[in-house]
Chain A
Amino acid sequence: MARRPLLTHAPLPAAALALVLATTSCGTGEDETLTVWIMEGTNPDATGFFEEANDAFTEETGMDVEVEFIPWADAQDMISTSIAGGTMPDVVELGTTFVPEFSDAGALHDLAPAIDDPSSYNEGMLEMGQIDDAVYSLPWYAAIRSVVYRTDVFEEHGADEPENWEELRETALELSEAEDDMIAFPVPGDAQYSVLPWIWGGGAEVAVEQDDGTWVSEVDSEEAREGIQFFTDLSLEDDLSTTGAVNWNEIDVMESFSEENAIMAILGNANPKAIVENNPDLEGDIGVFPIPGQEEGYSDSFAGGSNLAVFEGTGNEDAGISYIEHLTDPEWSVRWADETGFFPGGVEEIEEYAESEDPTVQPFAIQLNEAGRGTPVAPEWGQVEAENVIVGMQQDILNGNVSVEEATESAADEIEQILNGG
C-alpha cells in the first residue's frame, strides 16, 4: 500500500480544526500569549526547536508563545479564512511566493521601522515583501532544490554525477536498467518547483514584466518547451519514472526516496535530514548535485524559503516584531538551519554554508548562490500557484492528454490572464 501523507491532502478538516483552535486560543485584543503559525511537511520535526526558542523568548520578554504547525498545503486557505474571521495569529511564516499577495492586500504590518540594516538579509527574499518603502516580511530561511541521489547505488554501478541534461538522462537509463525495481528519476506531476528548473534551464522565464506593467509568459516559448519536453520525456519516453508519479507532490517524492525506491530525485535542502529521520539506514548514502545545465553549468532552481511576517490589527504587533527579531537572530536562525538543513536568511550566515564540508549541504549552497531564481514578483503570483496552473500543465502532459505545445500554450495564457488581473 502506498503511504500518502494524510495531512497534506486533508485541508478541510484540518483547517476547520485549526480554526476552532485559533478562535479559542487567540483573540484580537492585547494578549499575554503570542500566537505563531509555522508551516510543516517538508522539514524534520520542529517541535523541539520551538520549545527551546520559545522558552528563551519567554525568559527575555515574559511573554508566552504558542506555536501551531500548519501543513503547507492548507496554508493559503487557512490564512485567508483567519483574515476573514479576524482570528489571525500574531506572527506567521509565509512561503516567499505568497508574500507579495498578502503584502499587497494590506494584511501585514510594516516592519521597515524595525530594520537596522536591510543589506544583511538575502536580497531576493527581502524584495518579495517590499512595496515602496514598506517591508512586510523578513527573510527567515532559504530553501533550494537540487538533485538528491543515492551515493551507494551510484558507486555500485560506477556512475558519476551528470554534468548536463544528456548525461543525466544516460545515467538514469543505465541505473534504471541495473536496478530493475527502483525508480531512476521520479517525474512528479503535483510539484511545480520540480518543473521550473527545466523552463529556466532551457533559457526561458515563467513571466516577464513589460515596460507598460503587463506580464508576458514565456512558458510557451521554444526554450521552455524544450526543457519541459526533456523533463516529461524522462517519464513518457524513457520510462525512468512511474505512472503513479503523476499524482505525486514533493512529499511523495521524498517518501519514495526514503523508502529506497528512488535513485535520484529533485528535492529541497531540508529533505536529506528528513529522509534520514524517516529511514536511518540511508545515513551516509545520500549525495547531492546541483541541477545540471542543458549543455554545461547549472540549471536555475527555485530559490524559495520562508519569510516571517506580523499581522496588522492583532494588537500584538510590537511583540510580534520582537519575536521575529528573536527567530532571525543568528543564534536561533543558524541553529534552525543546522537542524533542518535549510539555509539562514541572513547574507553572512549563508556564506558559511558554501564552504561546508557536508556533501548534503554544500551542493545546495552552490545551487542557491550560483543558480537560484525566484518566481515573478507579482501580487497575483500566489493565485497562479493556488490555481495549480503549472501543476495542471505538467499533469496533462504526463497523462498523455495533450502535447507539450498545447499544454504550454494554455498554461502561458492562464498565467498571463491571472498576472494581468483578468
Chain B
Amino acid sequence: MMSMRGRRAALPWLLLTPPLLVIGALLLFPLGRIVWLSMREYHLSNLVSGESEFIGFDNYIALLTDPYLWNVALLNTVVFAFVAVVTTVVLGTLVALLLVNLKVVPRVIVTSCIMVAWAMPVVSGTYVWIWIFDVDQGVVAQALMSMGVVDAGGYNWFADRFWFYAIVTLNIVHSGFPFVAVTVLAGLLTVPKELQEAALIDGAGPWKRFWHVTFPVLRPVFAVVTILSTIWDFKVFAQIYLMPGGDVGGSQMLNLGVWAYVRSFGHNDYGMGSAVAVVLTLLLLAITIVYLRSLFKDDEL
C-alpha cells in the first residue's frame, strides 16, 4: 500500500506519461533513427533490404573534410540565418513599438494585416516571391527594365548567390516578423507605465527609455523570439528548395537543410544525408546554449 506522500510523488509522472509517450514516438524515435542512420552505409538497396553496415564516423569524416560544407552549405546557412534573424527581430520590434502607440481600432486593423503575412502558407508565399522576381516577366524585372537599371535582356538574380539569398531573406523576414511583432507587443503591454514616466521625468530620450527601461524588462521575450527565429532560419527548407536553382545538387545556393535532403534523396545516400542533419542539429544546440548563457549571464535566472 502506497503512502499518501508516495502517491503524491507518482501523480505528476502519471499525468506526464501520455505526453511523454507521444513525444517519444514522434520526436525522440526519429531523432535516434537519424543518429543511427548517420553511422551507417545506407543506400537505396539498403532501403529495400532493410540491412545495412555500421561504419562508425566515416560519414562524419567525409562530411567534415568536404570543402562544399565549409565554402557553401555552412557559410550560406550561418550568414543567411544571422542576417535574417537580426532583420526579423529589429523589424518586428519596430512594428511592435508602432502598434503599442496606436489606438485600439487602428491597432486591431494593423495587427490583422500583418497576421495575413504570417498565415500565408510557405509554398504559396515562396511562389509569390518567385513570380515577383521572375526574370522575364516579374514585376521587379519589368520595373527595372523600364527604368533602364537592368538592360532589356534581363538579369538572372537566381543565379547570383547574393541576390538569391536577398530574395530568400525578403521571403523569410516577411513571413517571420509578424510573430516577433505580436510577441513583443504582448510584452510591451506589460511594461509598467510608471517606469516609463519616471524615465521621462528624468529626461531620458526615446532611445534611452527603450534601451534602459523597456529592453531589460522584455529580455526574456527577446530571448524567446531570437532563439525561435534562429532555429527557424537555420533550418529553412522550402523557401530555398522551391526557388530556381535551389534544388540543384552542387549548386552554390544550398544550405545545410536542403543539402541534407539532396544528399539523401538525390544521391540516395541516406547515411550521409543524416550526418548532415545531425551536424545541423548540433550546431543549433550549440548556438542556442551559448546565446542563452550570454543573455542571462548577469541575471540570477
Chain B residue nearest to A311 (CB atoms) is: B48
The reply to whether the CB of A41 lies closer than 8 angstroms to some CB of chain B is no
Residues of chain A lying within 8 A (CB to CB) of residue B87: none
The reply to whether the CB of A157 lies closer than 8 angstroms to some CB of chain B is no
Distance, CA A54 to CA B253, complexed state (A) = 44
Residues of chain B lying within 8 A (CB to CB) of residue A395: 159, 245, 248, 251
Quick one: CB contact mask for A122-166 with B, threshold 8 Å, 1 for yes?
A: 000000000000000000000000000000000000000000000
Identify which of B48, B154, B245 contacts A106 (C-beta below 8 A). Answer: B48
Distance, CA A159 to CA B184, complexed state (A) = 67
Residues of chain A lying within 8 A (CB to CB) of residue B262: 387
B135 touches A105 (CB 8 A): no
Segment at the A interface, from B18-26, B77-85, B263-271:
B263-271
Identify which of A11, A12, A80, A389 contacts B44 (C-beta below 8 A). Answer: A80
A401 touches B159 (CB 8 A): yes
The reply to whether the CB of B192 lies closer than 8 angstroms to some CB of chain A is no
Known: A383-B267, A387-B262. A244 touches B134 (CB 8 A): yes
The reply to whether the CB of A375 lies closer than 8 angstroms to some CB of chain B is no
The reply to whether the CB of A386 lies closer than 8 angstroms to some CB of chain B is yes
The reply to whether the CB of A107 lies closer than 8 angstroms to some CB of chain B is yes
The reply to whether the CB of B138 lies closer than 8 angstroms to some CB of chain A is yes
A247 touches B244 (CB 8 A): yes
The reply to whether the CB of B295 lies closer than 8 angstroms to some CB of chain A is no
Residue among B44, B123, B131 with most chain A CB within 10 A: B44
Identify which of B47, B242, B245, B251 contacts A80 (C-beta below 8 A). Answer: B47
Residues of chain B lying within 8 A (CB to CB) of residue A1: 131, 134, 137-139
Judged by DSSP, the binding face of A is: helix
Distance, CA A243 to CA B155, complexed state (A) = 7
How many interface residues does B have (CB within 8 Å)?
38
The reply to whether the CB of B220 lies closer than 8 angstroms to some CB of chain A is no
B153 touches A243 (CB 8 A): yes
Distance, CA A389 to CA B47, complexed state (A) = 24
Residues of chain A lying within 8 A (CB to CB) of residue B123: 10, 12-13
The reply to whether the CB of B65 lies closer than 8 angstroms to some CB of chain A is no
Distance, CA A10 to CA B238, complexed state (A) = 9
A12 touches B238 (CB 8 A): yes
Judged by DSSP, the binding face of B is: loop
Residues of chain B lying within 8 A (CB to CB) of residue A336: none
The reply to whether the CB of A83 lies closer than 8 angstroms to some CB of chain B is yes
B138 touches A2 (CB 8 A): yes
Distance (whole angstroms) from the CB of B278 to the closest CB of chain A: 18
Residues of chain A lying within 8 A (CB to CB) of residue B237: 12
Contacting B at CB under 8 A, from A371-422, are 382-383, 386-389, 391-392, 395, 399, 401, 414, 418
Identify which of A9, A83, A383, A386 contacts B48 (C-beta below 8 A). Answer: A83
Residues of chain B lying within 8 A (CB to CB) of residue A399: 156, 159
B268 touches A80 (CB 8 A): yes
Distance (whole angstroms) from the CB of B252 to the closest CB of chain A: 9
B135 touches A247 (CB 8 A): yes
Distance, CA A104 to CA B153, complexed state (A) = 46
A246 touches B159 (CB 8 A): yes
A106 touches B45 (CB 8 A): yes
The reply to whether the CB of B125 lies closer than 8 angstroms to some CB of chain A is no
A414 touches B250 (CB 8 A): yes
A9 touches B242 (CB 8 A): yes
Chain B residue nearest to A13 (CB atoms) is: B123
The reply to whether the CB of B241 lies closer than 8 angstroms to some CB of chain A is yes
Quick one: CB contact mask for A279-300 with B, threshold 8 Å, 1 for yes?
A: 0000000000000000000000
B249 touches A2 (CB 8 A): no
The reply to whether the CB of B158 lies closer than 8 angstroms to some CB of chain A is yes
Residues of chain A lying within 8 A (CB to CB) of residue B71: none
The reply to whether the CB of B3 lies closer than 8 angstroms to some CB of chain A is no
Residues of chain B lying within 8 A (CB to CB) of residue A418: 267
- Sorted nearest first, the 5 A-B pairs with minimum C-beta distance are A244-B135, A244-B136, A247-B244, A387-B249, A399-B159
Q: A10-B242, A391-B248 are in contact. List 9 more A-B contacts (CB 8 A).
A: A105-B47, A107-B44, A243-B135, A244-B136, A246-B156, A382-B268, A387-B249, A387-B250, A399-B156
Cβ contacts A to B, 5 pairs, < 8 Å: A9-B242, A83-B47, A242-B153, A387-B266, A395-B159
